[in-house]
Amino acid sequence: MLVLGLETSCDETGLALFDSEKGLVGQVLHSQIALHAEYGGVVPELASRDHVRKMIPLLETLLAQTNTKKSEIKAIAFTRGPGLMGALMTGALFGRTLAFSMGIPAIGVHHMEGHLLAPLLSDNPPEFPFVALLVSGGHTQLMAAYGIGQYELLGESIDDAAGEAFDKVAKMMGLPYPGGPNVARLAESGDPQAFTLPRPMLHQGLDFSFSGMKTAVLNQYKKVQGQGRDADLAASFQEAMVDTLVKKCIRALKQTSLKRLVIAGGVSANQALRLRLEQELKRIGATVYYAEPALCTDNGAMIAFAGWQRLKAGQCDDLSVTTTPRWPMTELTAPDVLATAE
């Protein structure tokens, strides 16, 4: 079955075609980075309007690039939440309406489940069960994943999300939005041991706190601003983030006795995090899995794939258009349970 995936939860318009037999057929992405850059962050109303403008041209590009006729699409998956209400509405309305006009099923997908399942699209996919570290601009969560829709929350950030901390540090250092990749780039030429930064809640459970770390970076930055030490500070911040994330992942693996770790979401594209996890997990006989960088940040492929997991169990939406801007992942259920319950 050929599934069209639509991602519009925030500042990326992502469309993709996933074939349940052949895998990912193709994807297109329009990033709104330039649109929001001058404001230093995402402006929700501008995001929604831009999704509306880009959706149809992107679909036409995707069909042309993959040599696909619209009539070959047999189902549509769109991001139902969590995310910005207006942005979600654009993809949900477009997807639900297009599916209705074509007489095919539509399904609203949980954005973070999309992220969590994206590594399953790689050449070396993980098997369930695994521990998942979800690290994006809005979420930092450790989950035990036992199957599709079977997620147990192990820990989460009590304040800023990991990506948000990267973005805020970038902003205070005058680096362009979005901050994560820019901080990571600057960190490459810095000394990660140059500054001693706190690692809040490092030895407590599986929750995270990044707000204090961000404030500590701000205090150091004020002291050394203009002294050519930005790369050292970026590297020290990244080191503190990586250190914290890795230690919590190892604790989660030990607590659950699981041997597989999946990292997903925008921050999982961070090379320093990947490298450290590979090294440290090898020591405890565990393995880390992640998606290729283009599938770590927001994209339509993960939505098409996550949608397919539920469509194949017979699950689909009715004709109402539902968006759920706040939607805990633990509210999801396994698709086969839903299919038989309906």
* Of 48 and 220, CB closest to Zn ion: 48
Residue 167, interface with Zn ion (CB under 5 A)?
A: no
Residues numbered 10-29 forming contacts with ligand KG4, rule: CB under 6 A: 10
Residue 307, interface with ligand KG4 (CB under 6 A)?
A: no
* Of 64 and 275, CB closest to ligand KG4: 275
* Of 184 and 311, CB closest to ligand KG4: 184
Residue 298, interface with Zn ion (CB under 5 A)?
A: yes
Residue 137, interface with ligand KG4 (CB under 6 A)?
A: yes
Residue 265, interface with ligand KG4 (CB under 6 A)?
A: yes
Question: CB 297 → Zn ion: shortest distance, Å?
Answer: 7
* Of 26 and 83, CB closest to ligand KG4: 83
* Of 32 and 220, CB closest to ligand KG4: 32
x/- mask, ligand KG4, residues 157-196, rule CB under 6 A, reads ------xx-xx----------xxxx--x------------
* Of 217 and 269, CB closest to ligand KG4: 269
According to the 3-state scheme, what is the secondary structure of the chain? CEEEEEECCCCEEEEEEEECCCEEEEEEEEECHHHHHCCCCCCHHHHHHHHHHHHHHHHHHHHHHCCCCHHHCCEEEEEEECCCHHHHHHHHHHHHHHHHHHCCCEEEEEHHHHHHHHHHHCCCCCCCCEEEEEECCCCEEEEEEEECCEEEEEEEECCCCHHHHHHHHHHHCCCCCCHHHHHHHHHCCCCCCCCCCCCCCCCCCCCECCHHHHHHHHHHHHHHCCCCCHHHHHHHHHHHHHHHHHHHHHHHHHHHCCCEEEEECHHHHCHHHHHHHHHHHHHCCCEEEECCHHHCCCCHHHHHHHHHHHHCCCCCCCCCCCCCCCCCHHHCCCHHHHHHHC
From the list Zn ion, ligand KG4, none, partner contacted by residue 232 (C-beta under 5 to 8 A by kind): none
Number of residues in contact with Zn ion, rule: CB under 5 A?
2
Return d(Cα 266, Cα 283) in angstroms, integer.
Answer: 26
Question: CB 82 → ligand KG4: shortest distance, Å?
Answer: 9
* Of 26 and 163, CB closest to ligand KG4: 163
Residues numbered 131-150 forming contacts with Zn ion, rule: CB under 5 A: 136
Q: Which of 266, 300, 307, 335 binds ligand KG4 (CB under 6 A)?
A: 266
Question: CB 305 → ligand KG4: shortest distance, Å?
Answer: 15
Return d(Cα 102, Cα 328) in angstroms, integer.
Answer: 31
Q: Which residues bind ligand KG4 (CB under 6 A)?
A: 10, 115, 136-138, 163-164, 166-167, 178-181, 184, 265-267, 269-270, 297-298
Q: Which residues bind Zn ion (CB under 5 A)?
A: 136, 298
